[in-house]
Chains A and B, each alone.
Chain A
């Protein structure tokens, strides 16, 4: 490695950075969002309002934010990691307190166009904080028990707050992302086994604390025919809609099940069902292919980074994105209980759109600054 690249990478102008952006990623994001707009147009029976137009506006704002984030130096994000984590944690706790005062499930802050859920922001900043922590460790240290205390607190504290809301799905995703980060950082295999077993052991205990409706959802998932007109209705209708789409689908705006309103929530959680009904197996797998391509580009970036921070950060964010789409699709296909996770970049709604685009902004920042070497304390070599 020559020192030239190190100097060069830190002295890039913003213009140069924009040219070094991973434009393939941006292009695929636009493609997927475009699919989303047309599905929302179809969900409104051929109308831009009420969903598609708002979604386009949100996407526009999100993309600008993504590009700004991506050209900001990766060392800045490293320095800000703990602070951002702290702010988000306070927000999460505030919403938790306010929510219990208001006697409702107040999980979000209302920013008119976006309803920001601190728990969604938490997914990103938790990855940042963990990446920052493990960046500062020797590879051997990551497996030592005393170095595991802080990351475990970083993971479990927000998980506990989100569980209190209670938002089972998000808490599970947060925990899973945390676990993946520990795994990537290099904790021992036996530690992984202990964590897995204790998580499984916690399930019967956790069951006691679930709300009745949450228990109902899980039981209905296990056997949807138990309650074909209640909680099971959504899953059965989703399967009928998807299955009746067949290989080639019924055509754009021709989905009978969606448009005759058998399909619930077709603009949000069940939008993939509508896509699969109208464009069939071919359309559904094409979308999955686009997602896979997007994820692959991000994984390449992760592997090419010189700093552990950028590697962990981008890989963690990819996992977050993957969990969104996997849980949503598995849910509408009847492989997972209905937990209310949107399809990223497609479902109508502000929070997920914003979080996902912020995530890609950070991944691309890692990509632009992949050559930057950062020492354990967070300073780059030349500073």
Chain B
């Protein structure tokens, strides 16, 4: 026993001793190396440390520019002079700031923010003092440079939107980096770096951003730059071309002036968005300079929601513009044909509910064409009773309603197309027959966005091709630029005869003298438009009100007036454009929305932007990045 222990101990101690010797040798080697570096070679390294200091600095690439389909600039870059301060080598920041305050205005708040930033960041990281300086200010600071240790002036670039508020919602804007953007991209750490926060600026932020370059600088013992040794230029951000037509967009914004609502114009064959107007709007240049908290609060609490892109995020009951969906569902189900007629007496009684037509004394015997042209509610009550909500919902979904449309700008809302299963799940009650009738005239639970309505019309007018709307001409995938107009849309599998019947009826809405929008017809030959009006109620009309005579919209407070809607397509022969107009609380669709749609459509047909490929006028250098 004891022998074993001693044996083990002897082997262990002999080998451990060798090990200890090895460790001692290795530590001696470390000390030897230190002696070599710090004593023998010390002079050489001291010289290197004093005179040859290499510093790497990031270069901000300039952000890609954005153009409309004809090369009109929508977002460009301008010079932005910034004052920066570093706490390194600066014993008294407060004094420097006081001195600087005599040259350029610095508020007490600015000072507080700067001091906080300086104490939080590492010494060598420059902190932004002020930006958007005038050239005179820059000159004044440069002259006083000796009294301002740690102060540097950098010329950055400033995002500028030449069109102002005209294209605000689709374009979006840029703003300061927030923690949720931090993805490890070193660019995001640079002071004053901006990222896209909405619209195209957000969707294509990475492509627009470009790649950082680097500059290898020789600096002296105090960190001052002596010269640049090497420079790797960054990659300028990708330029983006939109399908928007600025001139049409401005017309649309003008038509919406003083109103709350939106206008969308699509190319029915591709889904290219010519116009995407939302009113009221906002000048994105205000965001670039930063807006105050009060302004922000005011903007976001405004009941007319200037910041919301109503074209894609405004959800409205579609009213009668929904009737084409019901008609197609009924046609596909074989419940009606061209000649099937129902009698409209002004109302329809179902159980103990009485459902009114907008025309008090009724339309009499009504077929499909008359039903759509004169927007007879009873005709569609009869249809929907027979088709049922579920088949209507399926048809609506095929036309892009009630779902997010896979748009290339963020913030879209799905709207809502109800069916029996949805109501059970969401509200917990069974579907009631009367609700089908309400849905048939685009009321009740049904909600759609103006973009969805324009998409619906485009899919009707292009012969049943499932196009998806987009605003950016190209998609960039794996460094290849693919034009979206070249991508074919899939067929929706609709009967062409059914489509023709519905389009013929929509033609009659405007061009038949009994049609609801006859007054908004286009007189120019060859420019005929088909469409459908809609007036969607935001309140229930009680029986008492009906009896005492319905109050005129104009007499109601703004918030309770009806929404005015119009959807349309043109020309009648081989349609090219689809339009949707929604005026919040505007009153009647025929009276308010249809004339606006007509004006914009005439402008569109006159310009015929789709006749020219988007970006045709944009010079090569503007669209293709140098190092693509």
A: residues with CB less than 8 A from B are 45, 138-140, 180, 183-186, 228-229, 233, 239-247, 256-257, 259-262, 276, 280-281, 284-285, 288, 291-292, 295, 299, 302-303, 306, 308, 311-312, 315, 319, 322, 326, 329-330, 333, 335
The answer to whether B124 touches A242 (Cβ under 8 A) is no
A303 to B246, CA, bound (A): 87
**Contact partner, B7, options A139, A261, A312, A322, Cβ 8 Å:** A139
The answer to whether A244 touches B49 (Cβ under 8 A) is yes
The answer to whether A261 touches B124 (Cβ under 8 A) is yes
A229 to B5, CA, bound (A): 58
B226 at interface, CB cutoff 8 A: no
A125 to B20, CA, bound (A): 22
- The answer to whether A335 and B33 touch (CB under 8 A), given A246-B39, A303-B16, A315-B19, is yes
A-B contact pairs, 16 of them (CB 8 A): A139-B8, A183-B15, A186-B15, A239-B37, A243-B37, A243-B49, A244-B50, A245-B42, A246-B42, A260-B223, A288-B27, A308-B5, A315-B16, A322-B26, A330-B33, A333-B33
The answer to whether B23 touches A242 (Cβ under 8 A) is no
Main SS class of interface, A: helix
B495 at interface, CB cutoff 8 A: no
- The answer to whether A260 and B124 touch (CB under 8 A), given A186-B15, A246-B39, A288-B30, is yes
Bin chain B's interface residue count.
35 or more
Chain A positions within 8 Å of B30 at CB level: 288, 326, 329-330, 333, 335
B31 at interface, CB cutoff 8 A: yes
A242 to B219, CA, bound (A): 19
A245 to B45, CA, bound (A): 8
Q: Which of B20-39 contact A (CB under 8 A)?
A: 20, 23-24, 26-27, 29-31, 33-35, 37-39
- Give me the 7 closest cross-chain CB pairs, A-B, nearest first: A243-B45, A244-B49, A281-B38, A246-B42, A186-B11, A139-B7, A243-B37
Chain B positions within 8 Å of A302 at CB level: 16
Contact with A along B365-385 (1 / 0, CB 8 A): 000000000000000000000
The answer to whether B48 touches A281 (Cβ under 8 A) is no
> B89 to chain A: closest CB distance in Å?
9
The answer to whether B34 touches A285 (Cβ under 8 A) is yes
The answer to whether B12 touches A308 (Cβ under 8 A) is yes
The answer to whether B19 touches A180 (Cβ under 8 A) is yes
> B152 to chain A: closest CB distance in Å?
15
The answer to whether B16 touches A243 (Cβ under 8 A) is no
B56 at interface, CB cutoff 8 A: yes
> B28 to chain A: closest CB distance in Å?
10
A284 to B35, CA, bound (A): 10
B4 at interface, CB cutoff 8 A: yes
B53 at interface, CB cutoff 8 A: yes
B286 at interface, CB cutoff 8 A: no
B623 at interface, CB cutoff 8 A: no
Residue of B at shortest CB range from A296? B20
Chain B positions within 8 Å of A242 at CB level: 34, 37-38, 45
A322 to B41, CA, bound (A): 27
B123 at interface, CB cutoff 8 A: yes
Residue of B at shortest CB range from A183? B15
A303 to B48, CA, bound (A): 48
Residue of A at shortest CB range from B38? A281
The answer to whether A244 touches B12 (Cβ under 8 A) is no
A250 to B373, CA, bound (A): 91
Residue of A at shortest CB range from B14? A186
The answer to whether B15 touches A284 (Cβ under 8 A) is no
Chain A positions within 8 Å of B289 at CB level: none
B299 at interface, CB cutoff 8 A: no
B98 at interface, CB cutoff 8 A: no
A276 to B24, CA, bound (A): 20
B221 at interface, CB cutoff 8 A: yes
Residue of A at shortest CB range from B7? A139
> A256 to chain B: closest CB distance in Å?
6
> A322 to chain B: closest CB distance in Å?
5
Chain B positions within 8 Å of A257 at CB level: 49
Q: How many CB-defined contacts (below 8 Å) exist between A and B?
A: 130
A139 to B2, CA, bound (A): 12
The answer to whether A184 touches B15 (Cβ under 8 A) is yes
B54 at interface, CB cutoff 8 A: yes
The answer to whether A299 touches B20 (Cβ under 8 A) is yes
Chain B positions within 8 Å of A311 at CB level: 9, 12, 16
A114 to B320, CA, bound (A): 64
B300 at interface, CB cutoff 8 A: no
In this complex, the member of B39, B41, B48 whose beta carbon has the largest number of chain A beta carbons within 10 angstroms is B48
A67 to B433, CA, bound (A): 77
B485 at interface, CB cutoff 8 A: no
Chain A positions within 8 Å of B553 at CB level: none
Chain A positions within 8 Å of B48 at CB level: 240, 243-244
A239 to B45, CA, bound (A): 8
Other than the given A186-B8, A243-B41, A335-B33, 15 more pairs (CB < 8 A) read A180-B19, A184-B12, A229-B56, A229-B230, A240-B49, A243-B37, A243-B46, A244-B42, A244-B50, A246-B38, A261-B55, A284-B34, A288-B31, A302-B16, A311-B12
Chain A positions within 8 Å of B180 at CB level: none
Chain B positions within 8 Å of A243 at CB level: 37-38, 41-42, 44-46, 48-49
The answer to whether A299 touches B16 (Cβ under 8 A) is yes
The answer to whether A295 touches B23 (Cβ under 8 A) is yes
A127 to B378, CA, bound (A): 87
- The answer to whether A281 and B19 touch (CB under 8 A), given A229-B54, A244-B45, is no
Chain A positions within 8 Å of B42 at CB level: 243-247
> B125 to chain A: closest CB distance in Å?
9
- The answer to whether A138 and B19 touch (CB under 8 A), given A246-B46, A326-B27, is no
- The answer to whether A326 and B26 touch (CB under 8 A), given A246-B38, A260-B124, A280-B38, is yes
Residue of A at shortest CB range from B33? A333
> A27 to chain B: closest CB distance in Å?
20
The answer to whether A240 touches B38 (Cβ under 8 A) is no
A335 to B30, CA, bound (A): 9
A330 to B15, CA, bound (A): 25
Residue of B at shortest CB range from A228? B54
The answer to whether B15 touches A303 (Cβ under 8 A) is no
Residue of B at shortest CB range from A285? B31
B155 at interface, CB cutoff 8 A: no
Residue of B at shortest CB range from A311? B12
Residue of A at shortest CB range from B31? A285
B404 at interface, CB cutoff 8 A: no
The answer to whether B4 touches A138 (Cβ under 8 A) is yes
Residue of B at shortest CB range from A184? B15
Chain A positions within 8 Å of B7 at CB level: 139-140
B163 at interface, CB cutoff 8 A: no
> A18 to chain B: closest CB distance in Å?
28
Chain B positions within 8 Å of A329 at CB level: 30
Chain A positions within 8 Å of B78 at CB level: none
> A10 to chain B: closest CB distance in Å?
18
The answer to whether A260 touches B37 (Cβ under 8 A) is no
A262 to B49, CA, bound (A): 10
A261 to B123, CA, bound (A): 9
B216 at interface, CB cutoff 8 A: yes
> A361 to chain B: closest CB distance in Å?
21
Chain B positions within 8 Å of A241 at CB level: 49
A185 to B16, CA, bound (A): 10
A262 to B220, CA, bound (A): 12
A333 to B41, CA, bound (A): 13
> B542 to chain A: closest CB distance in Å?
60
